Amino acid sequence: MSAVNTWNSTQHFWLIILGFCVAFVPRYLPLMLFTKRAIPEWFNEWMKFVPVSLFTALVVKDIFIDSATYQIIFTHFSEMIAAVIVVVIAYRTRSMAISVITGLIAVFLLSMFIA
Amino acid sequence: MNKRRPNPKQVPDPNEPLWRSTLRVAMPLNLSYIPIGLACGILLHAAGFNTLLTGLVSILIFSGGAQFLIATMLTINSPLLSIVLMLFFLELRYALLSSSLSPYLKGQSNRFLFAFAISLNDENYAINYLKFATDKKWTGKEALMVEHYSLLFWAVSNVIGSLIGSALKIDLGVVNFALTALFLYMIVMQIKNRLTIVICLVSGVLAAVCMMLTKSTLGLVISTIIASLIGFFLETTLRKHLPASHWLWKLRSPGAKKSTVESESDAN
């Protein structure tokens, strides 16, 4: 990762505005439509599986995919181990804060010893 | 998603003012936003965002995933269009959240729906959905207050994170894992039956394959659509032909007792 980004604040501002538009429409449109009419059942049943599929895909991207070449890599050992720890902690505590903080501490400690 | 350990003996005081009873509902979420918001603010600062813009993005987009994504994509110098497109696909899941809340918001004015949609996100959705489903007295007004509390904590944590980022030198690889941990947490909260775990594995493999093929994050979108469709068809078929199938068994959310064998299988 090159650390320096060359954008200026105006460009960041436009990114935020555009980001707002794409973030807002999916939240607003269904609310508008479906408070007035019924949601088709199949749509609901399908949408039920979207979050879990998306989150898993994102986790796989973070841990197993190289962000520059998009090749699969198995070298992020500290992240892999920390991920297992996070899953166990999340399952047991059901607490977002504890899960995230444990994950951060785990990856920090593991990366000192492994990588 | 933010189901905390049940607190069974909490008797609500009927005279408690509304702002305080909703704050009490929102507080666990607010507190968990602090570390994540700090991490997000630090990353945004490292990506070149100034503190004012960090505050603005936290209010306008108000999505941990989206803001982490912006930070990551800026540090690898992605073009504007591809960031916005990626954000769009990431935020598309809110269509699901808001459609599932819509039965509870029937008859509200368009202005209310507008305000509600702006500050909707994964975590306050989870709280509100649970409250709507279990608490007859929970209305749109209370739900909106919970959203605003969480928005406040999120934005303030982000701004403070941005200030910390400008004052200290921090290992970004570690901070970035906050997002992965957040997603893992949300996956675990979504696991309701064994079928969901299968879909997790399918989605994970598909995601890797699709991203290698497309050489871009578009692969994420393709794999999400395919995996969710597979889940939808599998569940519909199982319900129809094998309604007693053990794949549909509910997994009980544990206290601290149950074995963690089931949950480990979705670690990747």
| Domain, as residue range, for B39 | 17-189
Residue B75 belongs to a domain: yes
- Confidence band for B264, pLDDT divided at 50, 70 and 90: very low
Could you say which residues from 183 to 212 on chain B have a Cβ atom under 8 Å away from some Cβ of chain A? Answer: 183-191, 196, 199-200, 203-204, 206-208, 211-212
pLDDT band at B5 (very low <50, low <70, confident <90, very high): low
- Between A19 and B123, where is the model more confident? A19
Q: What angle do CA B117, B78, B220 make, to 5 degrees?
A: 60
Interface-testing mutation among B27, B96, B236, with chain A (most A C-beta atoms within 10 A) = B96
Q: Regarding predicted confidence, which is higher, B131 or A56?
A: A56
Does some domain include residue B159? yes
> CB–CB of B232 and A42 under 8 A?
yes
Q: Does residue B22 register a pLDDT over 80?
A: yes
Shortest distance between the Cα of B13 and any Cα of chain A, in A, equals: 25
Question: Where among B151, B174, B189 does a domain terminate?
Answer: B189
Report how far apart the first and last C-alpha atoms of chain B are (Å, whole number). 19
Looking at the fold, whether B195 and B179 belong to one and the same domain comes out as no
pLDDT score for B256: 36
Average pLDDT over residues A10-23: 91
| Cβ distance of A15 and B107 shorter than 8 Å | no
| Chain A residues within an 8 Å CB radius of B184 | 55, 59, 83, 86-87, 90, 99, 103
Domain map of chain A by residue range?
1-48, 50-115
Cβ separation B94–A59 shorter than 8 A: no
- B176: which 2 tokens? 């970035």
Tell me the per-residue pLDDT of B194-232, one tens digit each, with 9 for 90 and over: 888 999 999 999 999 998 898 876 787 788 889 989 999
- pLDDT range class, residue B150, cuts 50, 70, 90: very high
| Residue at B7 is within a domain | no
Provide the number of structural domains found in chain B. 2
Same domain, B99 and B116: yes
Residues 48-67 of A with CB under 8 A from B: 48-65, 67
C-alpha B11/C-alpha B240 separation (Å) is 42
Please check the confidence at residue B153 and state whether its pLDDT lies above 90: yes
Q: Which of B31, B105, B181 sits opposite A86 (nearest CB)?
A: B181
Q: Does the residue B126 lie in any domain?
A: yes
Instruction: Show the DSSP H helices in B6-136 as ranges.
Output: 18-46, 51-60, 64-75, 80-91, 93-101, 110-118, 122-134
Task: Note the pLDDT of residue B52.
Answer: 93
| Torsion region of B48: left, alpha or beta (phi above 0 gives left; psi -120 to 50 gives alpha) | left
Contacts with A, B 61-100, CB within 8 Å? 61-63, 65-66, 70, 72, 74-77, 80, 83-84, 87-88, 90-100
Could you tell me if B63 and B133 lie in one domain?
Answer: yes
- Return the pLDDT at B124: 86
Asked whether residue B8 is domain-assigned, the answer is no
* CA–CA gap between residue B120 and residue B123 (Å, rounded): 8
Q: d(Cα B2, Cα A100) in Å, to the nearest integer?
A: 13
* Domain membership flag for residue B243: yes
Query: Are B149 and B111 found together in one domain?
Result: yes
Residue B125 sits in the same domain as residue B147? yes
Let me know if residue B3 belongs to a domain.
Answer: no
Q: What is the pLDDT of residue B11?
A: 57
Report phi then psi at B252, rounded to 5.
-75, 135
Say yes or no: B86 and B34 in one domain: yes
pTM for this prediction: 0.72
What pLDDT is recorded for position A53?
A: 87
- Do B142 and B230 share a domain, yes or no? no
Does residue B185 carry a pLDDT above 60? Answer: yes
Q: How far is it, in rounded angstroms, from Cα B250 to Cα B162? A: 42
What percentage of chain B's residues is helix, strand, coil (to nearest 5)?
Answer: 75, 0, 25
Q: What is the mean pLDDT of chain B?
A: 81
pLDDT at position A1 over 50: no
Q: Is residue B267 part of a domain?
A: yes
Provide mean pLDDT across the span A8-12.
Answer: 87
Of B189, B216, B235, the domain-final residue: B189
Residue A84: the pLDDT is 95
Residues in chain B closer than 8 A to A96 (CB atoms):
1-2, 29, 32, 36, 123, 182, 185
Please indicate whether residue A22 or residue B263 has the higher confidence score (pLDDT): A22
B152 with B196, same domain? no
Over residues A48-62, mean pLDDT: 85
Single residue among B149, B165, B189 that ends a domain in this structure: B189
- The predicted-structure confidence for A63-113, as pLDDT tens digits, reads as follows 998 877 888 888 888 999 999 999 999 999 988 778 888 998 999 899 888
A65 CA to chain B: closest CA distance, Å? 7
Q: What is the ipTM of this complex?
A: 0.82
Q: Given this model, what pLDDT does residue B3 score?
A: 47
B40 in contact with chain A, both atoms CB, cutoff 8 A: no
